[in-house]
Amino acid sequence: MRSVIQAYRFALDPTSEQVDRLRSHCGGQRFAYNWGLARVKANLGQRAAERSYGIDEPGLTPSLSWSAYGLRKDWNQTKDVAAPWWAENSKEAYSSGLANLATALSNWAGSRSGRRKGSTVRFPRFKGKRGALSCRFTTGALGLADRDRRHVKLPRIGVVRTHESTRKLARRVEAGTARIRSATVSFTRGRWFVAFSVEVERHTPAPAGPVSVVGVDLGVKSLAVLSTGEIIENPRHLEQAQRELRRLGRQAARRTGPDRRTRQQPSNRWRRTQTRIARLHAYVANARQDGLHKLSTRLVRTHTTVVVEDLHVAGIMRNRRLARHIAGVGMAELRRQLTYKADRHGATIEVADRWYPSSKTCSACGVVKTKLRLSERIFTCGGCGTRIDRDLNAARNLAALAEASSPSCGATGNEPDGNPCKTRTTRATGTAAGRPAPQGAGQRRHRKASTQDTHLYVS
Ligand SMILES: [Zn+2]
């Protein structure tokens, strides 16, 4: 048994009064965030100004505390003046905003001093009215409704009906293997959601069935090509919606939109079109998410090791011609899903190095080509003359990487028939007889071993 933090997210069907309260809480969260940010900015500006007058460090205005605790303390001292209406919402709304601000500030400070990895984090900015709505509750009456799998309890908001059954979480709570830590409400894709952060007791899964390795080559033409030869088509949800999106775009252009210069308010008809556009985008995003979830679940359930490439998605996204197509596939999302689902199902995810030439290597003899244009859909080997689909070749190379890293493994994704003894017997004869393995096989294994050392890491 091990304890993991897991999120359970449910779509809500709130009443109109509940929607008002939800919006009010999210607004309170935003207010507290902006209030805290304004104070921090004023404080930083004051200190910078004093420094420019030549005041020495101890003489400066004392700096404000950036911790969630410190910000909350300041808020509680000033809230009667700054927000006399504060009692309308749960105090959690304001705490949530201040906690977010504390995180944003520490991320910025960490990024500036080099303590934080990843891309540069900018100084937090004020949140506008049109931004995403969300609010987190950490204390109070929150959780599932008793003996009812269609309602959740939220502090000050009340018992809200869920759009879907809460069965999956309810069973765990009833069995005593889950503890709800917090609830976050948010408005996304035209809908209210609640996400519970839950501490779950999980059994450490034993990998079911025989060892099987699958290499997954992600692409745009087809969503994924597996080393078993299976091709998962790219459903191209966005491309299919493009026609309708273009039509709605033209419709919006004919109607009166907002104009900042003339302070023109948008017409109701313009708003209606915008709602339609948002709904279509939500439909596309949901369809994409659904397909990815189905694929990632299937992969970790049917294979013990899944090998994927470490694609530099953010880098490819900078390419204007490819960006929309890459985003339409959701490769990074698939990686994320595979990683956490593998952990749940006892499978392993191996990530090939970004510079591993999975497409340029021949999966039959191991010869690496120096050049391979993106337009060459069929890989033709100059060494052994193999002709194979480009993506399938890459997928097989990825699977071979994992086989090289685990010498005890038997059946592979390359052999759909799954002869578990095949690889092991050839290797055993090679060593037991006291002579090196056949020339070809030895070379191949050596090459793989070296790539493993330099290019492969197990996530
Ligand atoms: Zn070859």
Average pLDDT score over residue span 151-178: 93
Predicted confidence band of residue 70 (pLDDT cuts 50, 70, 90)? very high
CA-based torsion, 200, 205, 208, 212: positive or negative: positive
Would the pLDDT of 78 be above 90? yes
Q: Please give the positions annotated as active site.
A: 217, 309, 391
Return the amino acid letter for 322.
L
Average pLDDT score over residue span 325-338: 78
Domain ranges, ordered by start, for the chain = 2-8+143-202, 16-133, 211-232+275-459
Q: Distance, CA 401 to ligand 1 centroid (Å)? A: 16
Helices and strands in the chain, H and E counts = 12, 15
Q: In the prediction, which pLDDT does 19 show? A: 95
Q: In the prediction, which pLDDT does 8 show? A: 95
Would the pLDDT of 437 be above 60? no
418: left (phi over 0), alpha (psi -120 to 50) or beta: left
Q: Distance, CA 362 to ligand 1 centroid (Å)? A: 5
Q: Distance, CA 118 to ligand 1 centroid (Å)? A: 39
Would the pLDDT of 441 be above 60? no
Q: Distance, CA 409 to ligand 1 centroid (Å)? A: 24
How many Cβ atoms sit within 10 Å of the Cβ of residue 105? Answer: 21
Q: Distance, CA 191 to ligand 1 centroid (Å)? A: 53
- Out of 307-321, 334-348, 419-433, which region has the weakest mean confidence (pLDDT)? 419-433
Q: Which helix (H) or strand (E) holds 454?
A: helix 439-455
Would the pLDDT of 411 be above 80? no
Strand ranges across the sheet with 178-188 = 2-11, 191-202, 178-188, 133-137
Q: What is the rounded distance in angstroms from the CA atom of residue 193 to the CA atom of residue 281?
A: 17
Strand ranges across the sheet with 213-218 = 231-233, 222-226, 213-218, 305-309, 348-352, 456-458
Average pLDDT score over residue span 441-449: 38
Q: Is 220 exposed, middle or buried (0-12, 13-18, 19+ CB in 10 A)?
A: middle
Nearest to 72 by CA among 46, 101, 44, 45: 101
pLDDT in tens, 350-383: 888 877 888 888 888 888 887 877 777 888 888 8
Q: What is the rounded distance in angstroms from the CA atom of residue 298 to the CA atom of residue 442?
A: 34
- Out of 129-143, 206-220, 222-236, which region has the weakest mean confidence (pLDDT)? 206-220
Average pLDDT score over residue span 153-158: 92
C-alpha dist (Å) from residue 43 to 53, 100, 182, 395: 16, 19, 32, 55
For residue 451, the SS3 value is helix
User: Can you read off the two tokens belonging to residue 65?
Assistant: 């505390």
**Residues near 128 by Cβ (< 8 Å), separated by ≥ 6?**
none
Q: In the prediction, which pLDDT does 322 show? A: 67
Q: What is the rounded distance in angstroms from the CA atom of residue 407 to the CA atom of residue 42?
A: 62
Q: In the prediction, which pLDDT does 248 show? A: 96
Predicted confidence band of residue 415 (pLDDT cuts 50, 70, 90)? very low
User: Can you read off the two tokens belonging to residue 42?
Assistant: 């004023």
Q: In the prediction, which pLDDT does 407 show? A: 47
Predicted confidence band of residue 398 (pLDDT cuts 50, 70, 90)? confident
User: Can you read off the two tokens belonging to residue 120?
Assistant: 């540069």
Q: What are residue 352's DSSP bridge partners?
A: 309, 456
Average pLDDT score over residue span 128-144: 90
- In this structure, the strands spanning 213-218 and 222-226 are antiparallel
276: left (phi over 0), alpha (psi -120 to 50) or beta: alpha
Q: Distance, CA 222 to ligand 1 centroid (Å)? A: 24
pLDDT in tens, 179-192: 999 999 999 888 89
